[in-house]
Amino acid sequence: GIQVEQSPPDLILQEGANSTLRCNFSDSVNNLQWFHQNPWGQLINLFYIPSGTKQNGRLSATTVATERYSLLYISSSQTTDSGVYFCAVEWTGTASKLTFGTGTRLQVTL
């Protein structure tokens, strides 16, 4: 099956700082999603981005499918950005099934 690796595993930032989270995957994908899991466990959809670049407020994401990676950028971080960020991919070999990475745990401090 496909392997999904996220880095860094843990990240501590001061409020206002910028960060880049990375997702590497080992094979071709149909789709890629970024999620934020809040402290209550809810998974919040951030981006659906199989290729290209998207922006939503302080967050943006870029997926380079040919090189098998995606990046999530968080600018001017806020304490409410704390939580775990997951990348999940739909491998071309298994349509409709998402394979998740192990996540990046982000803590934003005052």
Partner 1 sequence: DGGITQSPKYLFRKEGQNVTLSCEQNLNHDAMYWYRQDPGQGLRLIYYSQIVNDFQKGDIAEGYSVSREKKESFPLTVTSAQKNPTAFYLCASSIESGRVYNEQFFGPGTRLTVL
106 CB-contact burial (10 Å; exposed 0-12 / middle 13-18 / buried 19+)? buried
Interacting stretch for partner 1, rule CB under 8 A, among 39-47, 51-59, 62-70, 74-82? 39-47
Report residue 88 CA to chain centroid gap: 8
Q: Is 95 in the site for partner 1 (CB under 8 A)?
A: yes
Q: Is 69 in the site for partner 1 (CB under 8 A)?
A: no
Q: Is 88 in the site for partner 1 (CB under 8 A)?
A: yes
Q: Is 65 in the site for partner 1 (CB under 8 A)?
A: no
Q: Is 56 in the site for partner 1 (CB under 8 A)?
A: no
Interacting stretch for partner 1, rule CB under 8 A, among 21-29, 42-50, 58-66, 67-75? 42-50
CB nearer to partner 1: give 87 or 108: 87
Applying CB under 8 A, the residues found at the interface with partner 1 are: 1, 4, 30-31, 33, 35, 40-43, 45, 48, 86, 88, 90, 95-103
